[in-house]
Each structure stands twice: as structure tokens, then as C-alpha cells.
Amino acid sequence: MNTYVTGSTIKQLREKRKLTQAELAERIGVSSKTISKWETAKGLPDISLLQPLAHTLGISVIELMNGEHIINRNVSANMLRCKFYVCPICGNAIHTLGNTVVSCCGITLPALEPEEADDYHTITIENVEDEHFITVHHPMTKAHYISFVAFVTSDRIQMVKLYPEGNAETRLQLRGMGFLYYYCNQHGLFKKKV
């Protein structure tokens, strides 16, 4: 991970749960002096204590390490509010229904902010039988390429992985109102309403 739990995170969460240092200490089996040390950055919890600490503070270990409590308001899990994350190290592409903490290759990934297509990332959609042929007008070199294309409606996602030196095109079934997403490894995520 690029971050380890910080004292201010522990203190904030402890106070939010209305626990004293002594109460938190008792629940995870350490002394209150130890808690005080963590909160004042004079020590760090042993990794074996992260799970009980996170549990007592009411969050996940990854949230505790990230210093952020994610509240996912997408309770109806509408896929139109979905998020994409891409790891800049290994290229892993991750799709989630709502907000979450995603980490890959030891780093926490931000949710990508899709942009409207610009002149260098245009797309054409042609009807072919009961499908649609999608072409992204973009280079496909090893250094600069379209990594995936996805079509998202309120209840489903179709995601196609593309590879450098292949073609920036694919077939998808564009049924219903949705958004077409495509990701350039250099310029980020683009979105087009269909």
C-alpha cells in the first residue's frame, strides 16, 4: 500500500464512535498508552492488529489504511452510476457499481472521471444486423492505445478489452439508453451517451 494507517485517522474514528483511548485499547487487547502513541504518530499498530482495529472502529481494513470511510450511496446499485478504475502499473481495469476503495499493485486507485470525447478520441457507431460496430478513431501502438470499450445501461455492462497493435473496434449490442465508455491509456476515460 502507498499509505499505512495514520494517527489522525484512528483518533477521528475513535472519537466518532465515542470511545475513549482506554475503551478502544481494551477491545483490541493493547494498553491505552499504545493507542495514545499511535494517535500522536509515535508508533504504528502491528499489522496483526489492523483487522481488530478496523472492526472496532466500524470500517474495513482498506478504508482504515486509506484514511477514508467510503459511504456508498448507490444503494439501488444503478449501473449508470458505476465507476471505472485503471491501474497505471499493470493496466488492470476494474468496474464497480458504486464508490469503493480499490487498490492494485500496492497503490490506491482513484475513480476515473469520464470526459466528453475530444477531436482525438472520436467514435463511430454503425448498425450491423442486431449489433453495433464501434470504431474508436485512435492509434493502437504499444505506447498509446484504447484499452477497453464498455457499454453500460441501468442493469448491465458489456466490456471489451482491446490490445495494442489490434484494432480500436468491437461489436456490442447497444440496447436501451446507456453510456459508451472507452479508455485511452494516455488520455483517460471518455464517455458518450447513446
Question: Least Å distance between CB 186 and Fe ion?
Answer: 5
Question: Least Å distance between CB 162 and Fe ion?
Answer: 12
> Longest Cα pair distance anywhere in the chain, in angstroms?
70
13 versus 136: smaller Cβ distance to Fe ion: 136
Question: Least Å distance between CB 121 and Fe ion?
Answer: 6
DSSP 8-state secondary structure symbol assigned to residue 168: S
95 versus 187: smaller Cβ distance to Fe ion: 187
38 versus 182: smaller Cβ distance to Fe ion: 182
Size of the site for Fe ion (CB under 5 A): 3
Cβ partners under 8 Å of residue 132, min gap 6: 125, 126, 171, 172, 173, 174
Name residue, grid cell 481488530.
52
What residues from 151 to 190 belong to the interface with Fe ion (CB under 5 A)? Answer: 184, 186-187
DSSP 32-79: HHHHHHHHTTS----GGGHHHHHHHHTS-HHHHHHT-------TT--G
Task: Read off φ and ψ for residue 47, nearest 5 degrees.
Answer: -60, -30
- SS3 assignment, position 107: strand
Question: Least Å distance between CB 88 and Fe ion?
Answer: 14
150 versus 184: smaller Cβ distance to Fe ion: 184
Residue nearest to Fe ion as judged by C-beta position: 184
28 versus 184: smaller Cβ distance to Fe ion: 184
Question: Least Å distance between CB 87 and Fe ion?
Answer: 18
Binding site for Fe ion (CB under 5 A): 184, 186-187
